[in-house]
Structure 1
Amino acid sequence: MMVSEYLKQHTAEYHDAAENLFNSGKIFNKTFTLEDYKKIIGTNYLMLLNSEAEIFRSLSGNFSEKLQLGSRRKLPLIEKDLAGLAIKPRSASEELEFSSEYEALGAMYVIEGSTLGGNVIAKQLSRTEGFDQVTFNFFGCYRENTGPMWKNFKEVLDGEVTEEKYDEVLSGARKLYTFLLNVN
């Protein structure tokens, strides 16, 4: 089993908990409100604020080019969303720490995976009443490149991580999910 499959299996409960936390079901029956959206953006902002710099620092050596790290920064995009929604930016409360580049890869798996869902959410909400003035900077971050960017990430992950490192990668993913589910 490749590490991406391993992660998918072992983080499913966290993924479901995040969907519940954000009322994701309401997105598809068009009862999702601007307040719901502000909650998702605010929480994801705090997650990125407290983790992105540390993830990128941990991965800069071996993975910078392979993962095209330069084009994966999302904090500046979500800051534009905050401004558009008139949400006041906050300062980092407890910057997450990753004990290795493998933990950082696991955390990045959560963030990159969320761009797949984000793309779908942006499309759906752009057709939902009340969202006509919203620009989806974070959720639409890769636009038509969403598929290829995810494929690249998964290929690097599966190509570089050997089985004895799976638990370390999973540990990083769990760390980030736990933060996301508990931050407020």
Structure 2
Amino acid sequence: MILPQLKAETRALHARAEAALDLLDPHLTPERYVDVLRGLHALYTPLCAQLGRTLAAHTALDWPARAAVKVPALSADLRDLGAVPGPPRTVPAMTDEAHAWGALYVLEGATLGGQLLRRHLAERLGTPERGLRFFGSYGEHVGARWKAFGAALTARTEASPAAFRDGVVAGASATFLLFETLAAPARVSA
């Protein structure tokens, strides 16, 4: 099964990306949260577009409907918090299908994990209704969409040579690195 393999082989990169974003920081400020949202917006904008082009033929994914909520939710969150998005980041071309599946594993996993973050951020920032659309972007359908994605990814990798599976892992790894380096705002040392 590809999902356990992805989780195991990207565990360290996943932890580094989470640490860079640091959204569970007990001292997270609204300003830092806005910086993180800007970074995510700058990353998701080009990445969602590239994934749409690369995975367009895979209608079982329903990627257009999934992508259609992510960037607009980030934009709305920034507006709610009195901020504007920055320019999109330049990301490496995502033309390889296996790499695109790996990137999607990271994005869909982030959406699943967003449920936990949403609750934490609502308490931490005192904004239960403002600035948290992105982390609840699939609403009550997040679990079902994660399962559907997992089934589609499993079917695709099982019908492919081992090199495809390796490409999925490489794509997920590269995407976690993008989150670590592009989405995370720069830290100012005290």
Q: Verify the 8 A CA contact 1:103 1:173 in the aligned structure 2.
A: yes
Separation in structure 1 between the aligned mates of residue 3 and residue 31 of structure 2, nearest angstrom: 33
Q: In structure 2, do the counterparts of structure 1 residues 132 and 141 end up closer, same or farther at CA, with 3 Å as the change threshold?
A: closer
Separation in structure 2 between the aligned mates of residue 3 and residue 126 of structure 1, nearest angstrom: 33
Q: Verify the 8 A CA contact 1:54 1:96 in the aligned structure 2.
A: no
Q: In structure 2, do the counterparts of structure 1 residues 168 and 23 end up closer, same or farther at CA, with 3 Å as the change threshold?
A: same
Per the alignment, residue 179 of structure 2 pairs with 180
The answer as to 2:69 corresponding to 1:70 is no
Q: In structure 2, do the counterparts of structure 1 residues 131 and 107 end up closer, same or farther at CA, with 3 Å as the change threshold?
A: same
Structure-to-structure mapping, 1:99-118, within 5 angstroms: 99-118=95-114
Report the TM-score when normalising by structure 1.
Answer: 0.87
Separation in structure 2 between the aligned mates of residue 129 and residue 92 of structure 1, nearest angstrom: 26
Larger displacement relative to structure 2 (94-103 or 152-161): 94-103
Separation in structure 2 between the aligned mates of residue 89 and residue 82 of structure 1, nearest angstrom: 7
Stretches of structure 1 that go unaligned for 5 or more consecutive residues are none
Per the alignment, residue 167 of structure 1 pairs with 166
Using the TM superposition, give the Cα deviation of residue 160 of structure 1 relative to its aligned residue in structure 2, in angstroms.
0.9
Q: Verify the 8 A CA contact 1:41 1:78 in the aligned structure 2.
A: yes
Stretches of structure 2 that go unaligned for 5 or more consecutive residues are 186-190
The answer as to 2:88 corresponding to 1:92 is yes
Query: What letter matches 1:87 in structure 2?
Result: A
Query: What letter matches 2:181 in structure 1?
Result: N
Query: What letter matches 2:126 in structure 1?
Result: G
Using the TM superposition, give the Cα deviation of residue 133 of structure 1 relative to its aligned residue in structure 2, in angstroms.
5.3
Q: In structure 2, do the counterparts of structure 1 residues 40 and 91 end up closer, same or farther at CA, with 3 Å as the change threshold?
A: closer
Per the alignment, residue 8 of structure 1 pairs with 7
Of residues 30, 33, 45, the one that matches 2:29 is: 33
Per the alignment, residue 188 of structure 2 pairs with none
Of residues 45, 52, 56, the one that matches 1:49 is: 45
Q: In structure 2, do the counterparts of structure 1 residues 135 and 87 end up closer, same or farther at CA, with 3 Å as the change threshold?
A: closer
